[in-house]
Structure 1
């Protein structure tokens, strides 16, 4: 286990100059990220026009984005009873994105839906910056650039441009973990709490902070430090950060529980959507159904895909990633693979698991620049085409 304390800077540079310097270093990566996303939206616009659809509607007013917009405009309390008896309640959607949509639309000419897209686009750049900073800190600038590029060109990367919560959550989670890496525990706790107000998987960020804090205290105690010295020395603020981290996630879950009149209220709401966690039994049955029927090639693709993400996770652990990254990435991966509903959503649910891409980023960073950019460019083109095809077809449920 890497000693986390060794990744924290012994002193602080002035805040504003340090931020400007960090932004200058990240600027090429952010420009590359913006170019990939622009390509994706452009291809989507052309494809949608050819199909008689509107790219703007696909990004802002379909699927989950409609639910977020409705919460922003009307608050919670809307539900739909399906013919099979399932009850879809808007309480399934965590509140930070609709709060931001409501706030931005209140102070601008933007509708709540357009505000959601602006938040997503802005947050995706914030997430890209955090990914660059993380890769740069651990493996150098080229790894930071590669990590950003790989996240941008994921097959479901178009979701980063939708009025969904994935970009916002990834930005908050990635900056929270970066703050842990640099010893800024209070900021880490605040950002983790906000991530917990964004998506249910915010619990993964909390787990990363808590496990890292326990390991850090253990290492310090093994080195002879007293508990008081641990919390008053270079890890000042750790306890505050640890206590702040779960407040957002826990606060919303308890609010739903009180509103539903049941301690398991949020789980009941998810159950109405056909969601929940069963240890992967339903997903395994789904894969077996594909393998044993005419959709055999799709089943093989699912097996290969799951094997790949698990291999990437193990590879990252073996490369010695600092504790918060494998804890967070593993928790996101586990929650995505063990969810029992909406199997087509699993790639989207794994989108925030950026630590899985670090082993690939390290490898790409060692390539000659021309080869690296050629490969990334080709993948970006393929991702743009796939994203356009996906959103004009089934898209995110």
Structure 2
């Protein structure tokens, strides 16, 4: 069953990648040809164009020019360094910077989902692990793992790998992978606390006493800390990545906590239907994720509960209008197994979710290729 499930999942991922590539590429062609002055490009380049947009330009700039920081303005320091470094490494092999970014995501995203299946087998029986993998593979915003020049695929691969190694008892390697992961996205508290809580829980499940070595997961923060040291040395501002958020109107404070911007846009402005529906979608997904955190504690244990609570909670509190949450939730991978466990006796509901997710993957890929702001 395990080999059959892996093959089936691989085929589903391949189909999803191809569908997203076609929809995104066709949409990029349509967007490109709105401009009669647009230069002619090769057919294969439209696929890359369909996967490059919005934050991709920041990663391109970092890979090509390095970091810059202007207090109070949008600055590249808001984006963590691991993904641009990976792009630069692949670019050295011959592809241009955009092709390199797409290749990094294409390599990491599908591999992360296959690795998720292996991890899920440690926490549930085979059929449920497979169902959870399908829920992740066909989650609407998972198209960001199928080629989009964003860092989510790389981070997910690393963090799933870290927890998988932890389940296998390879503490040192898990901590190492966790440390690399915290250099990819600003969610170090979730990774560190999640790995630490799971390690202590893992030892307790085996009836073993804790030792000093069991607290090694705190070293997973090294990737995050090294980036802070770099920012301090380069710009004299170790928290420049957080300060730069002001450039996007994401200042910390009660306005963000209370989501006043969200309420204003949705209920009291003349925003168009696309903007309102987009903000409502991200808000609903955030609410759904928060609802799943409680069952995750009960069904998967404190380690994964803590990881999801912190990973979902930080952006849910700090974002001004929930924008981007749909994509951020991909990294809360245990929630997909929790959902599969809750839907164990509701196959039709699960099938409906998968069908909606598959259609949404294609539609969101097309929207991204058309340069709509998705997440």
TM-score tier, shorter chain, comes to: 0.7 to 0.9
Please, which of 158, 161, 184 is the counterpart of residue 198 of structure 1? 184
Aligned partners of 1:135 and 1:144 also within 8 Å: yes
CA distance in 1, matches of 2:190, 2:135: 22
Alignment check: 8 A CA contact 2:5 2:130 kept = no
Q: Which residue of 1 is the match for residue 38 of structure 2?
A: none
Match of 2:113 in 1: 128
Report how far residue 323 of structure 1 moved: 2.6
3-state SS in 1 of match to 2:366: helix
Match 2:363 to one of 378, 382, 385: 385
Match of 1:350 in 2: 329
CA–CA distance in 1 between the matches of 2:58 and 2:84? Answer: 9
Unaligned segments of structure 1, at least 5 residues: 1-20, 232-236
- Taking the aligned partners of 2:281 and 2:16, their CA distance within structure 1 comes to 25
SS in 1 for 2:28: helix
Give runs of aligned pairs for residues 82-97 of structure 1, distance below 5 A.
86-97=72-83
* 2:74 match: secondary structure: strand
Change (3 A) 1:178 1:243: same
| TM-score of the pair, normalised by structure 1 | 0.78
How many angstroms does 1:282 deviate by? 4.9
In the alignment, which residue of structure 2 is the partner of 1:118? 103
1:322 pairs with 2:301: yes
Cα separation, 2, equivalents of 1:149 and 1:248: 31
- Please report the RMSD computed on the Cα atoms of aligned residues, expressed in angstroms: 3.2
Q: 1:267 to 1:86 in 2, by over 3 A?
A: closer
2:50 to 42, 53, 58: 58
2:85 to 99, 113, 131: 99
2:148 aligned partner: 162
Normalising by structure 2, what TM-score? 0.82
Going from structure 1 to structure 2, the CA distance change for 1:22 and 1:114 (only over 3 Å counts) comes to farther
- Helix, strand or coil at the partner of 1:350: helix
1:35 corresponds to which residue? 15
Match of 2:267 among 278, 291, 297: 291
Return 5+ residue gaps in structure 2 as ranges.
Answer: 34-45
Q: 1:26 to 1:287 in 2, by over 3 A?
A: same
Q: 1:254 aligns with which of 229, 235, 258?
A: 229
Count how many residue pairs are aligned between Structure 1 and Structure 2: 357
Aligned 8 A contact 1:186 1:238 in 2: no
Shift of 1:333: 0.5
User: Residue deviations 1:30-53, cap 9 Å, x none?
Assistant: 222222222122222233334446
Q: 1:367 to 1:133 in 2, by over 3 A?
A: farther
Deviation of the 1:372 alpha carbon: 6.0
| 1:394 is aligned to 2:369 | no
Residue in structure 1 matched with residue 65 of structure 2 by the alignment? 74
